[in-house]
Amino acid sequence: MGIAWLVHGLLLERMSREFLESRLKDEVAFLEHQIREVGGDTGRLQTGDYFQDVFHHAFVIHSPSRTLVSPESWRSLLVPLITVGQEGSLRVQGADVSDTEVDIVAYRRSFQANGIPFVVLVSEDLGALKRSQSELHAWTAIVSLLLILLLVSVIWFGINLAMRPVTPIKAALKRLQEGEISRVDVGAPEEFKPLVSQLNQLLNSLDQRLERSRDALANLSHSIKTPIAAVRQILSDTERPLTDALRHQLADRLNDIDRQLEAEMRRSRFAGPQLGKSAYPVKQARDLLWMFGRLYPDTSFELSSSLTEDSRWPVEEQDLNEVLGNLLDNAGKWASRCVELSLHQHERRMRITVIDDGPGVSEEDLAQLGKRGLRLDQQTPGHGLGLAIVRDIVARYGGHVRFELASGAGLQVVVEL
């Protein structure tokens, strides 16, 4: 509005001046016509009140024999312009007329009538015009300010009206903070439903994390109680010598404790779905394939993917590393020559497939895979936790794991998130 007001002032001044110059030019043309009508005899012109009533402007008619000036008080200002020699518009600023400073615009034209040279000059004081312009400009500013106030009021009213549905959400958040409710369940507008949904999802994630922590402590306490009791019993029996067999029993019990601690520590690192967290699956897969290629040098690890290097999945980075790492480690242990990892995404469904060319498993054992502590072959190193950890992580993302027999030989694991 401020820029529009400034532009309005500039355009108003320009249009007024162009209009005034056009009028002065027309009046000069009228005087020239009158002079030609009388054959150059200025004595026959009806000057005085006639021209002042018609023009409302000061003018000068100059010939070698006579100089007419109207009004007479402008003689000292206009007569010097006769000899300027410049045709067209003239501007005189800061001149004094009857002890009054004036700013005038004049239009000068020279011609001959009946062989007599004439100079006609018509002028007008810009003071009255500027006062009119200033008044119009001031009224424009007043109207603009009133319009701004009206617009601000309408916008303020519109925003408050539009944000009125937020009030129930605000009240629900306050009740949530005071413990009266556990989830935000209000009839929010369509625009706020994703916000409420994400907030409830965050609350669910926090509750699940607290529940996992409590379960982990309970499981750990329960699982290491028996080995600790066995170790304490052996150490407290002072009558029995500490033989090699007892030493092996102590070592076995301590190994059980260590395995349980390692398993629970790994489970405690799982984050589950978190807002704002994402991972680059292709980049992480390449890093893991390089590492397992060094760990299992006789096995070829291959990657096939329809994703780009910059593709991101809404999965916590550590969780994705655990899933890919456990699947590739398990496949690398059993593969004969090759392990293939494929990453694909269709709309919001993400799929991880790991295929090895190992001996595979029987149809009866497929359903048992992924159970905590289950090891189908005791000859291969491990604790039977890898696939169980994968199941736990995938379940937290609302996905599922399928174990299938590969088309040729070996095992195929499909993870969908």
Residue 355's pLDDT is: 93
Q: What is the pLDDT of residue 378?
A: 45
More confident residue, 318 or 152: 152
CA 112 remoteness from chain centre:
74
What does the mean pLDDT of the chain come to?
80
Does pLDDT of 375 surpass 60? no
Give 369's contacts (C-beta < 8 A, 6+ positions apart): 361, 376, 387, 403
Q: Give the range among 128-137, 269-278, 360-369 with minimum mean pLDDT.
A: 269-278
The predicted model gives 44-68 an average pLDDT of: 70
Using 50, 70 and 90 to split pLDDT, how confident is the model at 95?
low
Angle between helices 193-236 and 244-268 (to 10 degrees): 170
The amino acid that residue 367 corresponds to is A
For the segment 141-163, what is each residue's pLDDT rounded down to a tens digit? 899 899 999 999 999 999 988 88
The angle subtended at Cα 55 by Cα 67 and Cα 94, nearest 5°, is 70
Of 354, 361, 400, 388, whose CA–CA distance to 259 is shortest?
388
- Decide: 130 and 105 in contact? Cβ < 8 Å: no
Dihedral sign from CA coordinates of 219, 222, 223, 228 = positive
Cβ proximity of 385 and 283 under 8 Å: no
pLDDT band (50, 70, 90) for residue 344: very high
Can the peptide bond before residue 71 be classed as cis, meaning omega within 30 degrees of 0? yes
Reported as a single tens digit per residue, the pLDDT across 385-394 is 678 888 888 8
Looking at residue 415, its pLDDT comes to: 94
Q: Do 352 and 400 touch, CB atoms closer than 8 A?
A: no
The predicted structure's pLDDT at residue 69: 82
149-153, 193-197, 313-317: least confidently modelled range: 193-197
Q: Residue 235 and residue 245: Cα distance in Å, rounded? A: 13
Across 91-100, 266-275, 398-407, least confident range: 266-275
Q: Which of 43-52, 126-135, 211-220 has the lowest mean pLDDT?
A: 43-52
| Whether residue 288 has pLDDT greater than 60 | yes
Report yes or no: 331 and 339 within 8 Å, Cβ to Cβ: yes
If residue 287 lies in a helix (H) or strand (E), which one and from where to where?
helix 281-295
Check if the beta carbon of residue 413 is closer than 8 Å to that of residue 354.
yes
Model confidence at 379, pLDDT cuts 50, 70, 90, reads: very low
Sheet holding 349-356, edge to edge: 300-305, 338-346, 349-356, 411-416, 400-405
In this structure, of 16-30, 112-126, 233-247, 348-362, the range with the lowest mean pLDDT score is 233-247
Query: Residue 170 has which token pair?
Result: 């605000």
Q: Both tokens of residue 341?
A: 């990892």
Residues whose CB falls within 8 Å of the CB of residue 238, separated by 6 or more in sequence, listed in order = none
Cα–Cα distance, 356 to 332 (Å, whole number): 8
Average the pLDDT over 374-381 and give the result: 49
298 CB contacts (<8 Å, ≥6 apart)?
337
Contacts of 280 (CB under 8 A, 6+ apart): 309, 310, 311, 312, 313
Judged by DSSP in three states, 118 sits in strand
The count of other CB atoms within 10 Å of the CB of residue 356 is: 27
**Is the pTM for the entire model greater than 0.85?**
no
